[in-house]
Structure 1
């Protein structure tokens, strides 16, 4: 058992667990008043997220132990299941915040992120011998990717669709595709976006841009949420007002425990708290990239890149929204924001990434162990008069 434990990347194991645990604390702080106003108990959202955290932790441990290579064998049922769930959302799903994204108590679009990463990593790792052939090596997986994106856009959930699009781009780019083919794909993407623009542009979506880039022109409507976020960040200063002391969560910052939880972190824990959270997220992303570079096979490398991209992109979009850099799209902050489906998928993803890291570290340790064993054998031979003795100490 101890032999196996030393193969794990403990930094990568502990960081997401600490972030999720910190998220529970901040969710309770940010949601207690909101929960009471909704006639729930003050611990309602904390309890709900704690249950998801326990489920995610179980999934994390299982995936840490489950060999990542077996996901290639499970690819077809996984991707088919996600597509069926996304179709179920459109037919029977429930709407929250003007998006029909819930089905059977979960958000299938969150699970689609991980399923698509597994699918693209598996397919492109098998196509390495002819990855330079566009029609044979690059194009076929993009058809299924387009179907999944289309189903999510129809909900409509533009934020999640954007994340999935950029995740797919990161995996495809890392697969060894030619730059010429990459530019072709970008051209196709721009053309499709221009064709879809008349159908995607609505007054509500335009208002998000107004609220993001001209918030003080509409302080009581489109710009309200971002202005309250600015107030929270400004109040926090360097060290914050203290845990639980946020004023903006008292009805000013709408649903502060979800997409804008970092504004509450900034107000209560200040710039220092924000830097710590961003630093921990950066550790996960950087460790994932390093692992992808050291991975012994292309499937592991692309899988690590996809998971790292998912965490990094989601964090970037969320932080961009609360700071006014990007329009508000409803993307939660990884591990910290309230959201059961998001947390469950992230914890499972971290388990998969840790399993890849374990194989990488195990391979790195093997040469050192072999050298140490050879050294011990030479010492034994010298000590015993140059005779060859069988080392039975192991």
Structure 2
């Protein structure tokens, strides 16, 4: 079975994921050494750490590629419980960085449990809704209970506060729920409730810092404090033009764009590699997302279909939010660009998740090949039968 699975894996998807991870490590080295020097760190501090994250991520990726995706249904409770415990620990004794208590410091490395929460919610919802397909039209029995758990997890992330991760988690969950064959009126109800919730949050609960980010996004030149990053992102993008100033030759990383190796790494890509570099990056991300949706649509197993759609939605939504912040389309939320931004938690969970996606593709391709072989065999039998009758 394992040899057969390996033959049917989507190797184009594997190549793009690994290539994007390697490209991200290269761009982190190019963008982070001035930051490392400012903090009296070795010039390759961020590069080495991200390289370690990528190598460990490749091990997780390989494991997920070969581990049958259906087995995750039996691991759902353990994964959700572990995520809850980590989120509660963060709430009680987490490390605060950039006004958000979102991190756990373990052995010199910072872990962000909200990244694991994204995968946990995708696996949990896919498993629960797949089991409830026979009565999915019963909103109170099939959909409402898992929504309570997802809402509680989203609340733990929001109070850190990590609005960006919360939005990604909820949006990915919504994509899974909408793909689970709900009734149209239930889809409309959830859309209305979500819209009202966002309106209430921004009207009564948003902090001054969060409101300031909106001002920085939509009037950056009038609000120099809040718009500092965006204005310098514009400058970096403009400097890059079509082909860029050359790898390593960008100037935005020299204190103009704070910690450019994280949320605004696309600005450094644009400055050093130009529009061409950005376009290649976008094509690679788009390829992963579209491939994931195709895998999901081809998967006849409900659990695999929902999980593939959830993972693809998550990557696409996160990329859109990050790129939107770097271009002024959306407020800055501190969301990393998948596979490129510096961050171990994001890299490890993304590699594990895309490995699951590749595994689903392997089983989908095997099923299609078996079906084609069966149909061909039936056709051959239909051709042979008349001949046998003549011979008799």
| TM-score category of the 2 structures, normalised to the smaller one | over 0.9
The residue correspondences of 1:308-387 to structure 2 (distance < 5 A) are 308-370=312-374
Deviation string 1:260-316 (CA, Å, 9 cap, x unpaired) is 000000001110110100000000000011011110211000000000001000000
The residue correspondences of 1:190-209 to structure 2 (distance < 5 A) are 190-197=195-202, 199-209=204-214
Partner of 2:386: none
Deviation string 1:140-166 (CA, Å, 9 cap, x unpaired) is 110000110110011010000010110
Partner of 1:35: 36
Displacement of 1:194 in angstroms is 4.2
Q: Helix, strand or coil for the counterpart of 2:221? A: helix
Deviation string 1:200-257 (CA, Å, 9 cap, x unpaired) is 22221111011100011123x1111101000000010111111111011111111010
Displacement of 1:46 in angstroms is 0.5
Q: Helix, strand or coil for the counterpart of 1:102? A: strand
Partner of 2:12: 11
The residue correspondences of 1:299-310 to structure 2 (distance < 5 A) are 299-310=303-314
Displacement of 1:190 in angstroms is 3.3
How many Å separate the matches in 1 of 2:237 and 2:202?
Answer: 34
Greater displacement, 190-199 / 250-259: 190-199
TM (norm. structure 2) is 0.93
Displacement of 1:186 in angstroms is 2.4
Contact 2:5 2:363 in 1 (8 A): no
Partner of 1:172: 177
How many Å separate the matches in 2 of 1:37 and 1:290?
Answer: 45
Summarize the Cα distance change of 1:372–1:187 in structure 2 as closer, same or farther, 3 Å threshold: closer
Deviation string 1:178-201 (CA, Å, 9 cap, x unpaired) is 121122222333343444445522
Q: Does 1:158 align with 2:158?
A: no
TM (norm. structure 1) is 0.93
How many Å separate the matches in 2 of 1:196 and 1:7?
Answer: 47
Displacement of 1:373 in angstroms is 7.2
Summarize the Cα distance change of 1:374–1:126 in structure 2 as closer, same or farther, 3 Å threshold: closer
Partner of 1:148: 153
Output the aligned Cα RMSD: 2.1
Q: Helix, strand or coil for the counterpart of 1:79? A: helix
Q: Does 1:251 align with 2:255?
A: yes
Q: Among residues 226, 243, 252, which one is paired with 1:222 in the alignment?
A: 226
Partner of 2:57: 56
Displacement of 1:2 in angstroms is 6.0
Partner of 2:242: 238
Partner of 2:123: 118
Displacement of 1:367 in angstroms is 3.5
Partner of 1:278: 282
How many Å separate the matches in 1 of 2:340 and 2:265?
Answer: 8
Partner of 1:212: 217
Summarize the Cα distance change of 1:185–1:376 in structure 2 as closer, same or farther, 3 Å threshold: closer
Q: Which runs of 5+ in 1 are unaligned?
A: 380-385, 388-394
Partner of 1:391: none
Partner of 1:392: none
How many Å separate the matches in 2 of 1:275 and 1:58?
Answer: 29
Q: Helix, strand or coil for the counterpart of 2:323? A: helix
Displacement of 1:376 in angstroms is 9.9
How many Å separate the matches in 2 of 1:54 and 1:264?
Answer: 23
How many Å separate the matches in 1 of 2:204 and 2:157?
Answer: 15
Contact 2:126 2:303 in 1 (8 A): yes
Contact 2:94 2:102 in 1 (8 A): yes
Q: Does 1:262 align with 2:252?
A: no
Summarize the Cα distance change of 1:243–1:130 in structure 2 as closer, same or farther, 3 Å threshold: same
Q: Helix, strand or coil for the counterpart of 1:100? A: strand
